[in-house]
Amino acid sequence: NQGWIDELKQVIGENKVETKDSYVKRMSQDFYWYSPILKKQLSDFYADCIVKPSSVEEVIEVLAFSAQNRIPLVPRGGGTGNYGQIIPMEKGIILDTSALNKIIEIKNGIGRFGAGIKLGKLEADLANDGYSLRFFPSTYLKSTLGGFIAGGTGGIGSIEYGTLWDEGNVVRLTILTLEEKPRLFTIEGEELKKYIHHYGLSGVIIEAEIALAPYREWEDHLVTFSNINDALSFSESIAKSESIRKRLVSVSESPLATAFKPFEAFVSEHDSIVLLQVEKGDCDQVEELAHSFNGSFLPTFSEHVKKNKVRTTDFSWNHVTLWWMKHHPEATYLQGRFDTKNYLKQVELLKEKYPNEVLIHFEWISVGGSIVPSSQPIISYTTEERLNEIITYFKEIGVKVSNPHTYLIEEGGKDDWVELISLAKKENDPYQLLNPGKMKIGIG
Ligand code: FAD
């Protein structure tokens, strides 16, 4: 490969192309190892080089080079995806987008940003202008705006604003195609569906315009319960409360919270917990509601987290899995949406059937205007067959599962727009060089 890598260095500049083995290996991997199945399938794939352009013009040069020489290319943000989305299955180039990190414009509640901007930095900068992100993944410190749009769903704030697919959240995207002469265009409205959660298969996002939220001060709270049912019922009540503004309602069944080391003074192994981020001033209402569901509201917790510079958000969403796996490397997880009316029954059935294999973790979010329990339950992994049995049972009892144990976009369960993505791929990536191997339609 040295031949084409030398040529690429001449095109874009030697200092923009990295081939050092250890660096290339690190940049070729994400959090695919959360899944014992993906861990077996994906651990040996690495790119030939990492290219880090610092302007749109340089990205165009790299994409043109890739098309002309038929070199596969995978766009990369922060590399925090869970399904091996950035793993280069046919080697080639990893396009590191992290230098495309400009705040381009903020106007009338809408911000236009370079795709490689890190969400944590963006959130901090927006506060100076009186704004905030509407929602962001718990990986916000590392993950990029482009990577979130291309690989994520929702996160902290989704209880108010929904997910990436909800109208008005993503306003406009600027896309580059992978052709000999890459085309640059901007899309909005229905066209956005071709590029949200698209694993970089149908084009490279260069800029994104997103709607922003007004800046608010949020406080962190912890409520503990002696049983999971009370914790869930409380969480529903607070999630649906119209008088308490919140951006996080996260439930972890006992003993998951024992893995949250910074909170160890507050929880015992018998506690199921609800972690919250609510607007400053709403604390009394939370305490009252907690008591009505037999919960213990811990008044010193809020100060404790401030003093220790941690936030409840770092123990929510898939960070729950990360903390648990630190001490239980044999564990894995699922993603699913429980039934809003029937979720307590579904949990009871799961606990009956898998008393030692399934631990409940809920995140309440808004979907199409309704507040629903999305979840990332922790699974004690033994074999692939057993995991598939568990997935089948989840589905049988009406939990809508998005399978995180596959790298194929069609099988991940967020597949409503796969045909649109495939259509855009045909137009924008005629040689099927973008992230090859991740889409069945694109194979062969
Ligand atoms: P990457 O991992 O770099 O890329 C993700 C996908 O997008 C890849 O297919 C890549 O090719 C593509 N891509 C990246 N940049 C571009 C671009 N500019 N143009 C086109 N394609 C591109 N997800 C959530 O939705 N919510 C959560 O709360 C959440 N919590 C998580 C917690 C943990 C501990 C972990 C490990 C993962 C979590 N995730 C979550 C998944 C992941 O962190 C998010 O999806 C994240 O936003 C991905 O951003 P990234 O910049 O790291 O993307």
**Which pLDDT tens digit goes with each residue over 242-251?**
999 999 999 9
Place of tokens 């099927």: 432
pLDDT average, residue stretch 65-90: 97
ipTM metric: 0.99
Place of tokens 């049972």: 393
In this predicted structure, the answer to whether residue 442 has a pLDDT above a threshold of 60 is no
Question: DSSP 3-state helix, strand, coil percentages of the chain (rounded to 5)?
Answer: 35, 25, 40
Query: Quick one: pLDDT band at residue 283, thresholds 50, 70, 90?
Result: confident
Q: What is the pLDDT, as a whole number, of residue 352?
A: 97
3-class secondary-structure state, position 80: coil
Residue among 51, 80, 100, 158 whose CB has most ligand 1 atoms within 8 A, to mutate:
80
Q: What is the pLDDT, as a whole number, of residue 444?
A: 41
Domain with CATH 3.30.465.10 in the chain: 1-215+414-444
Residue identifier of the C-alpha nearest atom 38 of ligand 1:
318
**Helix or strand holding residue 288 (H, E):** helix 283-292
pLDDT average, residue stretch 347-372: 96
Tokens of 433: 């060089």
Residue identifier of the C-alpha nearest atom 15 of ligand 1:
147
Which atom number of ligand 1 is nearest to the Cα of residue 148? 47
List the helix and strand counts (H, then E) for the chain: 14, 21
In this predicted structure, the answer to whether residue 303 has a pLDDT above a threshold of 50 is yes
Query: Quick one: pLDDT band at residue 413, thresholds 50, 70, 90?
Result: confident
pLDDT average, residue stretch 14-36: 96
In this predicted structure, the answer to whether residue 45 has a pLDDT above a threshold of 80 is yes
Domain with CATH 3.40.462.40 in the chain: 218-402
Query: Picking from 49-53, 192-196, 304-308, 394-398, which range would have the lowest pLDDT averaged per residue?
Result: 304-308
Query: Quick one: pLDDT band at residue 415, thresholds 50, 70, 90?
Result: low
Bigger pLDDT: 442 or 261?
261
Query: Quick one: pLDDT band at residue 414, thresholds 50, 70, 90?
Result: low
**Closest C-alpha among 222, 268, 218, 265 to residue 245:** 218
In this predicted structure, the answer to whether residue 395 has a pLDDT above a threshold of 50 is yes
In contact, 171 and 138? CB cutoff 8 Å: no
In this predicted structure, the answer to whether residue 145 has a pLDDT above a threshold of 70 is yes
Query: Quick one: pLDDT band at residue 368, thresholds 50, 70, 90?
Result: confident
Alpha carbon of 56 to ligand 1 centroid (Å): 21
Which atom number of ligand 1 is nearest to the Cα of residue 144? 51
Quote the mean pLDDT of the chain. 95
Bigger pLDDT: 330 or 282?
330
Q: What is the pLDDT, as a whole number, of residue 344?
A: 97
In contact, 144 and 97? CB cutoff 8 Å: yes
Residue among 66, 143, 275, 409 whose CB has most ligand 1 atoms within 8 A, to mutate:
143
3-class secondary-structure state, position 273: strand
Alpha carbon of 345 to ligand 1 centroid (Å): 32
Q: Letter for the amino acid at 113?
A: F
Alpha carbon of 297 to ligand 1 centroid (Å): 34
**Helix or strand holding residue 6 (H, E):** helix 2-12
In this predicted structure, the answer to whether residue 416 has a pLDDT above a threshold of 90 is no
| pLDDT tens digits, 341-353 | 999 999 999 999 9
In contact, 100 and 116? CB cutoff 8 Å: yes
Which atom number of ligand 1 is nearest to the Cα of residue 163? 25
pLDDT average, residue stretch 31-48: 96
Tokens of 207: 């800029």
In this predicted structure, the answer to whether residue 258 has a pLDDT above a threshold of 80 is yes
Alpha carbon of 289 to ligand 1 centroid (Å): 35
CATH topology of domain 218-402: Vanillyl-alcohol Oxidase; Chain A, domain 3 (3.40.462)
**Closest C-alpha among 382, 425, 383, 377 to residue 403:** 377
| pLDDT tens digits, 148-180 | 999 999 999 999 999 999 999 999 999 999 999
The Cβ of residue 269 has, within 10 Å, a number of other Cβ atoms equal to 9
Residue among 96, 318, 362, 378 whose CB has most ligand 1 atoms within 8 A, to mutate:
318
Residue identifier of the C-alpha nearest atom 1 of ligand 1:
79
pLDDT average, residue stretch 238-267: 96
The Cβ of residue 11 has, within 10 Å, a number of other Cβ atoms equal to 15
- CATH 3.30.465.10 is right for the domain spanning 1-215+414-444: yes
Residue 123 burial (CB < 10 Å; 0-12/13-18/19+)? middle
Alpha carbon of 182 to ligand 1 centroid (Å): 24
pTM: 0.97
